[in-house]
Amino acid sequence: MSMLESEQSKKSNLQNYIPKKPERIACSIEKALDVIGGKWSFLVLKELFDGTKRFGELQRKIKSISPKSLTDTLRHLEEYGVLERTAYPTVPVTVEYKLTPKGEDLHQMLKEMKLWAAKWCSDV
Partner DNA sequence: ATATCTACTTACCTTGAGTTAACTAACTAT
Partner DNA sequence: ATAGTTAGTTAACTCAAGGTAAGTAGATAT
Least distance in Å: CB of 115 to a second copy? 8
SS3 of 100, please? coil
- Contact region with DNA (CB under 7 A), list: 8-16, 27-35, 101-109, 116-124: 8-16
Least distance in Å: CB of 59 to DNA? 8
Considering only 35, 48, 74, 99, the residue that binds a second copy (CB under 8 A) is 35
Tally the residues of the chain.
124
Among candidates 49, 46, 44, which has minimal Cα distance to 17?
44
Q: Does residue 75 interact with a second copy by CB under 8 A?
A: no
CA distance 41 to 73: 6
CA distance 96 to 105: 19
* DSSP category for residue 58: H
- Residue 87 or residue 124: which is nearer to a second copy going by CB? 124
Binding to DNA (CB under 7 A): which residues in 60-89? 64-69, 71-72, 74-75, 85, 87
Q: What letter represents residue 99's amino acid? A: L
* Residue 82 near residue 35, CB atoms below 8 Å: yes
Selection from DNA, a second copy, none that 49 binds (CB < 5 to 8 A by kind) is none
Kindly list the residues in this chain that would bind DNA in the complex (CB under 7 A): 12-13, 15-20, 22, 38-40, 54-57, 64-69, 71-72, 74-75, 85, 87, 91-95
